[in-house]
Structure 1
Amino acid sequence: MGSRSKGNYTNPCLTLHQPWASLLVYGIKRVEGRSWPAPLRGRLWIHAASKVPDSDTIKAMENFYREIYAVNGIADLKFPEHYPVSRLLGCVEVVGCVKCEELACWKEVPEGVRLEAQTEFCWLCEQPQKLIIPFEMRGYQRIYNLERKIYEAAVRGLRPVQAPLPVKFLLPEPQDPLSLKPGSLVSCFDGSKAAEDKKPEGLLAAIAGARAAATQFSKNDNHQSITMQGQDADVSTRTREESEEFEKLDSELIKRADAKTQRNAE
């Protein structure tokens, strides 16, 4: 179990849906998108939610990353063989947080990274590490602290990941964690429409497919909040479903007990 916390983070963890969780731990995904700014810097543990991803979602996200890596000349991208659920997968280092429009115009990072800017806030992630054996555990909403005994076991099982294109982000100014160092951005807002038109059709289709895959969660369940980059994984749905199952089981056990009592009485 995790210890839910608001700002007092010791071993912070974030639950994501698959395939976003594994893509982040494997170093393929370098930007975690949110509708809220990163409240921390440093190690962030990544946990995969309980929802099993369908093949279309996996295909759409793999195609998205295949296309944006191709922009930087990487054609042979190796994806995870499996996307486990309800597991602690590993960790990344959150080194900064910038606005979407800032990252989209940041010329010092590979173009493929800039293409990951699809949400209001972009958490910049480096140094992915994965667990040799993912731990089964339950997740919570937003950021929470790992239970101490889980952390102590997990930290011994971490192994560095050889990311397909490691990125070293230029750290933002400490006084303004949502802005990059002065002069590091080149304005691209005026020509944003023209830049969009210049993108290859395959890339545009991959971006559209990834957006559609991400939004399907909110369409299927009003309690879930998912964005392009794997927004908050909601656990309230699973909790409700588990409660309903326990109620059904209790009801069945009561019926069986009543029937046994009646037979004994006869």
Structure 2
Amino acid sequence: MRCITIWQPWATLIALGEKKFETRSWATQHRDAIAIHAGKKVDKAICQKEPFRSILAKHGYTADTLPTGSVVAVCRLADCLEVTESYGETAMLESPSQSIVIGDLEKAFGLFELGRFAWELADVRRLPKPIPAKGMQGLWNWEETHDFL
């Protein structure tokens, strides 16, 4: 299964279903299952800012309790959209198959600058228990097999 390493708290926000788009400087043609790996880095300062602090608290997390160095969720990478407009609290995302306007909460959880790409994550399933794994840059192959996949 393909996997992507994401710093905390963003990996957990995806696993919780609170973050639906992962923003990257590069596009991908991958459209299939993908595992979400929480890297070892935790941005503790952002965890103290809103809306991060209250969303994490709603689910019982703080910067000190976020899982790291482990796969926390599996999902489907449904589309890769380019950021074509970004203004105020909204952004326009476009791909050959759709156009989406995202609002303030989603925009707060990503870097939606012109020319960047938003990976649309669908059918997110948080793992019952994080599975330790060593992360890598880019898309990488996670060789684990588990009953939940």
What band does the TM-score fall into relative to the shorter chain? 0.7 to 0.9
Measure how far apart 1:64 and its partner are: 5.4
Question: Match for residue 96 of structure 2?
Answer: none
Measure how far apart 1:16 and its partner are: 0.8
Measure how far apart 1:50 and its partner are: 1.5
TM-score, L = length of structure 1: 0.44
AA aligned opposite 2:32: G
**Separation (CA, whole Å) in 2 of partners of 1:14 and 1:110:** 22
| CA deviation profile, 1:36-69 (whole Å, cap 9, x unmatched) | 0023012110011122442x22122x52596xx9
Distance 1:113 1:125, change over 3 A: farther
Is 1:105 paired with 2:92?
Answer: yes
Measure how far apart 1:97 and its partner are: 1.2
Question: Match for residue 125 of structure 2?
Answer: 129
Q: Percent identity?
A: 27
Question: Match for residue 226 of structure 1?
Answer: none
Specify the SS of the correspondent of 1:101. strand
**Separation (CA, whole Å) in 2 of partners of 1:18 and 1:140:** 15
Measure how far apart 1:133 and its partner are: 1.2
Question: Match for residue 45 of structure 1?
Answer: 35
Is 1:57 paired with 2:49?
Answer: no
Question: Match for residue 11 of structure 2?
Answer: 21
TM-score, L = length of structure 2: 0.74
Question: Match for residue 89 of structure 1?
Answer: 72
Structure number with the higher helix fraction is: 1
Structure number with the higher strand fraction is: 2
Is 1:78 paired with 2:58?
Answer: yes
Question: Superposition RMSD on alpha carbons, in Å?
Answer: 2.8
Question: Match for residue 134 of structure 2?
Answer: 138
Mark the runs of 5 or more structure 2 residues left unpaired by the alignment.
94-98
2:112 pairs with 112, 118, 132, which one?
A: 118
AA aligned opposite 2:112: Q
Counterparts in 2 of 1:131-210, with a 5 A limit? Answer: 131-147=127-143, 150=144, 152-153=145-146, 156-157=147-148
Specify the SS of the correspondent of 1:85. coil
**Separation (CA, whole Å) in 2 of partners of 1:65 and 1:29:** 14
Distance 1:17 1:28, change over 3 A: same
Counterparts in 2 of 1:245-256, with a 5 A limit? Answer: none
**Separation (CA, whole Å) in 1 of partners of 2:122 and 2:70:** 21
AA aligned opposite 1:27: G
